[in-house]
């Protein structure tokens, strides 16, 4: 899907740029630990110039939480997406290139992982492994790689029949080298189209885990901010509204940007 | 046909075994077992004698292989056993919660499908016009919205500010309503959670429906229908929408797993005691029999999906496309 | 009796991305009596399908259409601005397409496809329309029509599908049937059967049939009259036998020969957007479009387009060197 007007292609990248800037400049925009209590609890937004977006029930600065939360969301989202695609590419390339028993075994494994609801698996993994940023990344990667593996496998199957791959084989290149040096780059294009969605999904899963209390307790994440604000939706709805808005914005920004890049490369789906 | 089904079942078997074994491994990786979690829960964490006795009783002191066999046997014989965390038969706990989740997911999928089909058809008929842009943009934004947040927003607006609908739960707690009143009471409780699921998941159906409608509009049979002088309304309904429904309906059956994941969050937000939150509790309580029970429910769901998917070759294609978008 | 079809000075142009217009059909005149067959022949991009679609009302909205089209000599001009096709499409003009599989809705039983048209055009109720569908399928030579009505299109062979499509075209009792390469997608034997069926319908029901084809042999076998199109214009027209045996235009001569002297005939004319052979930029717009490919071309051909002029025997040809032997 695509927004119709000509400047709409800029919405994603501009939003993403703002978020990246917030994440990079977080220590300057809001110095100190966002988990520290800095003011009177439940300062309303737009009432105190030092805390423009107010404070939560523990007196933590909401603005600081949001800009530092951008770091968590983007870093965890990107790392998890990179790991997801990495596993998917590895499995897909091996399965597609080697074929035979290895292909069968890997595809059964892929199906097994794909049939378990992604979020349930991530949830189980984090609750078993313990809530830390690294485990969240790991859990997202382990639960989300199957679509990437299937996509890469299909592409590898297509590319490996092309002439230049035969040429490499005749030239005596080692099979694994052919797989990853000759075949894989040709099969990667559709993965680019998948990347934006994968990052967006990863951000959503991270925020949902944090919302359920399975985020890294030492980091201020948008999802855990929503969870904290939940008890106060009657009196201070902004504690829920603002961080959630940030999550939706981040997901929209990465998927629009990914879609735009895919479209530029001529991979996009029809409008 | 029967032989075909049996063959598909056998092909699905390795996948099911892998999933079942994976769950067991996951639980073995975890620190602490159900007894630790149970004792911590009742404040008797240091009582080693009680712990040893409980382990003995629930077979947790057995060797790894023996425990796996017990687990696999209970899955295979559908003997769900005793939940340590709930101190009740697993079957009872599951049967108590399953209908709620089924009702929630059913109404969520129904809403997502109706929204996706209706708006997808509308967007296709108004392709490139403001209606199309508005509809597709809305779906795009809602698809990027976390379900738990959307649920809370709906609570803020419709339960807190407007007071039209209840904050959460599955029915009014102290209500002694029966018959039609009880049904209405449950329906009122279902509106917001079902809307949350439906709104976050309808983008997929919208995309499928819009694309299929556009394909159908370009098809030879629609040109032929115009040449044969059929009224436009008939052409849209019978010759565009009807064929376009096929991929959407096929996808409906395959979305239940994804929605089960989504329902964990939605059940938490709306305090609905359903299967999603049960799975969460089973994992955090290390309650292996309970988890095996919920896994069994998921496996049945998977099996249906696999059979369904294998029966119709187009399903696999659509799944790939949906995942790739 | 007035001719069932009177098409005068039809010109169709499609907008180009650069803002210009592509004229796919120019000043085409056609006329057809009931009970007779007119074949429109030419290679892919000659404009024959465009002419057919203009008559069937299937041109895209952005196409520019000039000329007039009347049925049975009376009634409104169907090409006039604001003219409606209601009561015309399916009821007075039936259409048959090249790909019978694509022209049938895959999720409807073939009986439902036919019955729907009968219901809409004849005002029949459900069961009456279904009976009409069975009769129609029988009329187009489908064996066991009571059973076949319940089949989905994918269960039928290509020939059977085309028979169903013909039944669908007949369901509104039209006086004129337009057929766009109706046998191109079929096996040779099935082709002959379908052509026989069409001829039988023309004879028995007295409908007029316009048959678009790239195959001069097919045209010669079934048509009473032939119009040969090249680059959007009719270049030769006349009784079928005469045109096949003694073509006058060098292009018709080439078509009648075993092979064209320039790479052969393109397979079909069903491209959604007609493609003309590349225009010679050195050639003025007033030249004969066939000149670059013509072995008889002289200087006059490259500067002045020959008009379509009547000849003996009810024939007409547009060529300065018509009838001369082609080397």
**ipTM score of complex:** 0.84
Torsion angles phi and psi, residue B107, rounded to 5? -70, -30
Whether A108 sits inside 8 A of B305 (CB atoms) is no
Q: Who wins on pLDDT, C137 or B289?
A: C137
What is the per-residue pLDDT for B42? Answer: 67
pLDDT at B310 over 70: no
pTM: 0.79
What is the per-residue pLDDT for C270? Answer: 34
What is the per-residue pLDDT for A266? Answer: 67
Whether C90 sits inside 8 A of B231 (CB atoms) is no
Residue B192: pLDDT band with limits 50, 70, 90: very high
User: In chain A, which residues have their Cβ closer than 8 Å to the Cβ of B31?
Assistant: 130
What is the per-residue pLDDT for B213? Answer: 93
What is the per-residue pLDDT for B294? Answer: 77
User: In chain A, which residues have their Cβ closer than 8 Å to the Cβ of B23?
Assistant: 124
Nearest to B229 among C107, C108, C121 (CB): C121
User: In chain A, which residues have their Cβ closer than 8 Å to the Cβ of B279?
Assistant: 120, 123-124
Q: Is A45 on the interface with B (CB under 8 A)?
A: no
Residue C263: pLDDT band with limits 50, 70, 90: very low
Tell me what the pLDDT averaged over chain C comes to. Answer: 85
Domain ranges of chain B: 2-90, 94-284
Whether A147 sits inside 8 A of B324 (CB atoms) is yes
Q: Who wins on pLDDT, A162 or C279?
A: A162
User: Average pLDDT of each block of 10 consecutive residues along chain A (271 residues)?
Assistant: 58 88 80 73 72 74 84 91 93 87 87 81 83 91 91 86 78 78 78 86 92 85 87 83 91 87 65 40
Give the nearest chain C residue to B221 (CA atoms). C103
Residue B61: pLDDT band with limits 50, 70, 90: low
Tokens of B201: 């998941």
Distance from CA of C118 to the nearest CA of B (A): 10
What is the per-residue pLDDT for C228? Answer: 93
User: In chain B, which residues have their Cβ closer than 8 Å to the Cβ of C164?
Assistant: none
Tell me the mean pLDDT in the region B160-166: 84
Whether B228 sits inside 8 A of C85 (CB atoms) is no
Tell me the mean pLDDT in the region C297-320: 89
What is the per-residue pLDDT for C210? Answer: 95
Whether A119 sits inside 8 A of B262 (CB atoms) is yes
A245: which residues sit within 8 A by CB, 6+ positions away? Answer: none
Which range in B170-179, C66-75, C204-213 is most confidently predicted, on average pLDDT?
C204-213
Q: Is A108 on the interface with B (CB under 8 A)?
A: yes
pLDDT tens-digit readout, B210-236 = 999 999 988 889 999 989 989 889 999
Interface test with B, best of A1, A106, A152 (most B CBs within 10 A): A1
* Least confident range of B20-34, C17-31, C160-174, C202-216: B20-34
List C228's β-bridge partners, or say none: C41, C236
Pairing of strands C315-317, C309-311: antiparallel
What is the per-residue pLDDT for C208? Answer: 93
For chain B, the three-class secondary structure string (H helix, E strand, C coil) is CHHHHHHHHHHHHHHHHHHHHHHHHHHHHCCCCHHHHHHHHHCCCCCHHHHHHHHHHCCCCCCHHHHHHHHHHHHHCCCCCEECCCCEEHHHHHHHHHHHHHHHHHHHHHHHHHHHHHHHHHHHHCCCCHHHHHHHHHHHHHHCCCHHHHHHHHHHHHHHHCCCCCCCCCCCCCCCCCHHHHHHHHHHHHHHHHHHHHHHHHHHHHHHHHHHHHHHHCCHHHHHHHHCCCCHHHHHHHHHHHHHHHHHHHHHHHCHHHHHHHHHHHHHHCCCCCHHHHHHHHHHCCCHHHHHHHHHHHHHHHHHHHHHHHHCHHHHHHHHHHHHC
pLDDT at C126 over 80: yes
Tell me the mean pLDDT in the region C246-265: 67
Percent above pLDDT 90 for chain C: 33
* Least confident range of A147-161, B195-209, C307-321: A147-161
Nearest to A120 among B132, B203, B279 (CB): B279
Q: Who wins on pLDDT, B264 or B258?
A: B264
pLDDT at B322 over 60: no
What is the per-residue pLDDT for B300? Answer: 73
pLDDT tens-digit readout, C194-217 = 999 999 999 988 899 999 988 888
Nearest to B239 among C85, C105, C169 (CB): C105
Distance from CA of B224 to the nearest CA of C (A): 6
Nearest to B160 among A118, A190, A234 (CB): A234
Q: Who wins on pLDDT, A119 or B261?
A: A119
Whether B228 sits inside 8 A of C57 (CB atoms) is no
Tell me what the pLDDT averaged over chain B comes to. Answer: 79
pLDDT tens-digit readout, B19-58 = 778 877 877 776 666 677 677 666 666 677 777 777 777 6
User: In chain B, which residues have their Cβ closer than 8 Å to the Cβ of C108?
Assistant: 238-239, 242
Q: Who wins on pLDDT, C193 or B37?
A: C193
Fold of B94-284: MetI-like fold (1.10.3720)
Nearest to B220 among C87, C91, C102 (CB): C102
Distance from CA of B312 to the nearest CA of C (A): 15
Q: Is B145 on the interface with C (CB under 8 A)?
A: no
Q: Who wins on pLDDT, C4 or A61?
A: C4
What is the per-residue pLDDT for B308? Answer: 59
* Least confident range of A95-99, A166-170, B309-313, C74-78: B309-313
What is the per-residue pLDDT for A249? Answer: 92
């Amino acid at each position: 899907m695509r927004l119709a007007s000509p400047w709409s292609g800029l919405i994603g990248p501009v939003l993403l740029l703002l978020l990246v800037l917030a994440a990079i400049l977080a220590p300057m925009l809001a110095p100190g630990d966002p988990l520290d209590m800095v003011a009177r609890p439940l300062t309303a937004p737009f009432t105190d110039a030092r805390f423009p977006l107010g404070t939560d029930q523990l007196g933590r600065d909401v603005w600081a939480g949001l800009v530092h939360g951008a770091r968590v969301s983007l870093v965890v989202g990107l790392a998890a997406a990179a790991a997801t695609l990495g596993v998917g590419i590895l499995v897909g390339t091996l399965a597609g290139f080697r074929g035979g028993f290895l292909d069968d075994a890997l595809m059964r494994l892929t199906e097994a992982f794909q049939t378990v609801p992604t979020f349930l698996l991530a949830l189980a993994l984090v609750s078993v492994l313990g809530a830390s940023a690294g485990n969240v990344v790991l859990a997202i990667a382990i639960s989300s790689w199957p679509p990437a593996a299937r996509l890469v496998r299909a592409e590898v199957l297509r590319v490996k029949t092309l002439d230049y791959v035969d040429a490499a084989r005749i030239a005596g290149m080692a099979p694994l080298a052919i797989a990853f040096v000759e075949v894989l780059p040709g099969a990667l294009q559709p993965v680019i189209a998948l990347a934006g969605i994968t990052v967006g999904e990863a951000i959503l899963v991270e925020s949902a885990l944090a919302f359920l209390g399975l985020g890294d307790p030492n980091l201020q994440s948008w999802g855990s901010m929503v969870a904290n604000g939940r008890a106060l939706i009657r009196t201070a709805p902004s504690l829920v509204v603002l961080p959630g808005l940030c999550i939706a914005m981040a997901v929209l920004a990465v998927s629009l940007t990914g879609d735009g890049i895919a479209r530029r490369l001529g991979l996009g789906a029809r409008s | 046909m029967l032989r075909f089904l049996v063959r598909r079942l056998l092909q699905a078997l390795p996948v099911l075994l892998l999933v079942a074994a994976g769950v067991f491994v996951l639980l073995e990786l975890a620190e602490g077992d159900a007894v630790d979690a149970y004792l911590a829960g009742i404040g008797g964490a240091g009582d080693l004698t009680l712990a040893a006795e409980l382990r003995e009783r629930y077979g947790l002191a057995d060797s790894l292989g023996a425990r796996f066999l017990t687990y696999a046997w209970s899955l295979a014989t559908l003997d769900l056993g005793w939940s340590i965390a709930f101190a009740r038969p697993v079957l009872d706990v599951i049967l108590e919660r399953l209908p709620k989740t089924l009702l929630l997911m059913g109404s969520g999928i129904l809403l997502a499908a109706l929204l996706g089909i209706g708006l997808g058809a509308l967007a296709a008929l108004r392709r490139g016009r403001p209606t199309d842009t508005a509809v597709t943009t809305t779906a795009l934004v809602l698809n990027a919205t976390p379900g738990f947040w959307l649920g809370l927003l709906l609570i803020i607006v419709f339960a807190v500010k407007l007071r039209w609908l209840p904050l959460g739960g599955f029915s009014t707690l102290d209500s002694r309503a029966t018959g039609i009143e009880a049904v209405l009471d449950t329906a009122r409780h279902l509106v917001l959670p079902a809307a949350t699921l439906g709104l976050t998941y309808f983008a997929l159906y919208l995309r499928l429906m819009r694309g299929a409608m556009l394909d159908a509009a370009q098809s030879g049979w629609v040109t032929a229908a115009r040449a044969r002088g059929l009224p436009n309304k008939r052409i849209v309904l019978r010759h565009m929408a009807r064929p376009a429904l096929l991929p959407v309906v096929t996808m409906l059956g395959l979305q239940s797993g994804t929605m089960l994941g989504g329902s964990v969050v939605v059940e938490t937000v709306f305090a609905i005691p359903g299967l999603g939150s049960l799975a969460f509790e089973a994992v955090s309580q290390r309650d292996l029999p309970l988890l095996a029970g919920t896994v069994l429910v998921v496996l049945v769901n998977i099996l249906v999906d696999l059979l369904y998917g294998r029966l119709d070759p187009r399903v696999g294609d659509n799944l790939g496309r949906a995942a790739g978008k | 009796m007035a001719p069932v079809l009177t098409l005068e000075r039809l010109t169709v142009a499609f907008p180009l991305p650069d803002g210009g217009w592509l004229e796919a059909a120019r000043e085409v005149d056609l006329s057809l009596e009931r009970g007779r067959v007119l074949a429109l022949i030419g290679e892919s991009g000659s404009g024959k399908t465009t002419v057919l679609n203009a008559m069937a009302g299937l041109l895209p909205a952005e196409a520019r259409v000039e000329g007039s089209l009347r049925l049975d000599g009376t009634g409104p001009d169907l090409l006039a601005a604001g003219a409606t096709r209601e009561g015309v499409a399916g009821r007075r003009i039936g259409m048959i397409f090249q790909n019978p599989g694509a022209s049938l809705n895959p999720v409807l039983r073939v009986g439902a496809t036919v019955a729907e048209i009968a219901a809409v055009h004849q005002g029949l109720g459900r069961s009456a329309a279904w009976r009409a569908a069975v009769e129609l399928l029988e009329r187009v030579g489908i064996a066991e029509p009571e059973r076949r009505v319940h089949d989905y299109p994918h269960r039928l062979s290509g020939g059977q599908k085309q028979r169903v499509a013909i039944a669908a075209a007949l369901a509104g009792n039209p006086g004129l049937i337009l057929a766009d390469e109706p046998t191109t997608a079929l096996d040779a034997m099935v082709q002959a059967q379908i052509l026989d069926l069409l001829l039988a319908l023309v004879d028995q029901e007295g409908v007029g049939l316009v048959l678009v084809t790239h195959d001069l042999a097919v045209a010669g076998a079934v048509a009473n009259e032939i119009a040969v199109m090249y680059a959007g214009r009719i270049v030769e027209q006349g009784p079928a036998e005469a045109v096949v045996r003694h073509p006058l235009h060098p292009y018709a001569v080439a078509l009648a020969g075993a092979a064209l002297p320039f790479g052969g005939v393109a397979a079909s004319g069903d491209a959604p957007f007609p493609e003309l052979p590349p225009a010679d930029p050195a050639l003025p717009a007033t030249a004969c479009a066939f000149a670059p490919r013509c072995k008889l071309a002289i200087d006059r051909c490259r500067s002045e387009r020959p008009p379509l002029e009547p000849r003996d025997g009810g024939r007409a040809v547009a060529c300065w060197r018509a009838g001369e032997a082609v080397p």
